[in-house]
A = this chain, B = another copy of it.
Amino acid sequence: MDLSLSDAQELLKASVAHFVQQECPKEVLLALEMTPTGTTPQLMRKMAELGWLGILIPEAYGGAGRSFTDAAVLFEELGKGPVCGPYFTSSVLGALLVLHGGSEEQKRALLPQVARGTCVLGVAVTEADYGWQPQAVQLRAHRQGDHYRLSGVKLFVHDAQAATHLLCAVRTGDDPRGGITLLVVEVPTAGLTVRSLPGWMGQVDEVRFEQVQVPATAVLGGVEGRGWDVLEAAALQAIPILCAYKVGSCQAVVDMALAYSRTRVQFGQPIGRFQRVQDHIIAMVNHLDAARWTTYEALWKLDSGRPAAASVHLAKAVTSEAYVKVCDGAHEVHAGVGVMREYGLTLHTQRSRALYHLLGDPRTHRRRLADALGW
């Protein structure tokens, strides 16, 4: 038993931390938050050069081929920013979809580019009837000769504005689960419009298809009906990495509150001397540690080849709630200062809400946890 990171992981952690500090300080993040993509070509290039955009992609496809835990170390540090941008969507969820579902040709065409940052994958699953169950995929792709024709809307798609290719879950058959196919849709394509959604959600978009033609070769893996299986397999591995991002976020918010508890003086003493302020922070730390260790155990199970589904659902349910609650606690500690945009806390508050439902909300994962336990 050894619950520490390896030396290589510690090294990676330090270099990501350095990168975030240098390239994504608060001022940059405050500016990026307002952009449609959440990133810049320079940032993409630098992260590609560091090998991080291909961290999960096997070396055979131009990636670094590292473990899930390694990728989690990277994303935990990014979460501290919190660094926005399509990195998780493209290099984790998107790359895993291609790895699990793509043909050899598609892997060779897409993955090296993803690792280089020249291709950015988006993943369009959810629709107006929002949900992460197969029944919620209703956008139909009609086969017409050597292409498909699509009309409809994908909604609340993360990072679609940054994507060069959208992996779209579409319906090619009536079977709730077996009727779903993943299509690789290039951006731009005639009839396809991607639009940022206004509000308190960051890089979340509407993707509208109006008589969009997609070649039949765009079917991920070349065979219809495998979409949901591929999505589930990829999500099982991607979720703990998203969880790690939130763990990093929670840690950053806790650190912010700790620092403020020491420097903010009211009633003649640092506010952290008041038990009420302490209790906000203690509750935050408890959420953080619950998120951290459920996430780490899920990663360990994935990397060691153990059945991981129950741990993954557990981690997702716990971390999504933890991030929201940790931000709430930080707002209690910071009061007025915390809601001033330039302070930076609200970057987290927003992401804690915007990531709450991504890949399934806590309630969904609680129910799936019961199923995974064989109950």
Residues of A within 8 A of B (CB): 274-276, 279
Contacts and interface: CB of A to CB of B under 8 A. Distances in A.
Nearest to A277: B275
A157 B82 CA distance: 57
Contacts of A274: 275
Contacts of A279: 275-276, 279
A279 B274 CA distance: 12
Closest 6 CB pairs of A and B: A275-B275, A275-B276, A274-B275, A276-B279, A279-B279, A275-B279
- Do most interface residues of chain A lie in helix, strand or loop, or is the interface mixed? helix
A276 B274 CA distance: 9
Nearest to A274: B275
Contacts of A276: 275, 279
A35 B341 CA distance: 64
A275 B279 CA distance: 10
A35 B102 CA distance: 73
A112 to B, nearest CB: 55
A373 to B, nearest CB: 23
A261 to B, nearest CB: 14
Nearest to A275: B275
A372 B279 CA distance: 39
A279 B275 CA distance: 10
6 contacts: A274-B275, A275-B275, A275-B276, A275-B279, A276-B279, A279-B279
A46 B279 CA distance: 50
Contacts of A275: 274-276, 279
Nearest to A276: B275
A221 to B, nearest CB: 45
A356 to B, nearest CB: 24
A275 B282 CA distance: 14
Most buried by B among A274, A275, A279: A275
A313 B185 CA distance: 53
A194 to B, nearest CB: 38
A279 B276 CA distance: 8
A172 to B, nearest CB: 38
A21 to B, nearest CB: 36
A275 B267 CA distance: 15
A274 B279 CA distance: 12
A276 to B, nearest CB: 5
A283 to B, nearest CB: 12
A274 B274 CA distance: 9
A55 to B, nearest CB: 44
A20 to B, nearest CB: 36
A279 B278 CA distance: 12
A276 B276 CA distance: 7
A275 B271 CA distance: 13
A254 to B, nearest CB: 20
A273 to B, nearest CB: 10
A258 to B, nearest CB: 18
A266 to B, nearest CB: 14
A275 B278 CA distance: 10
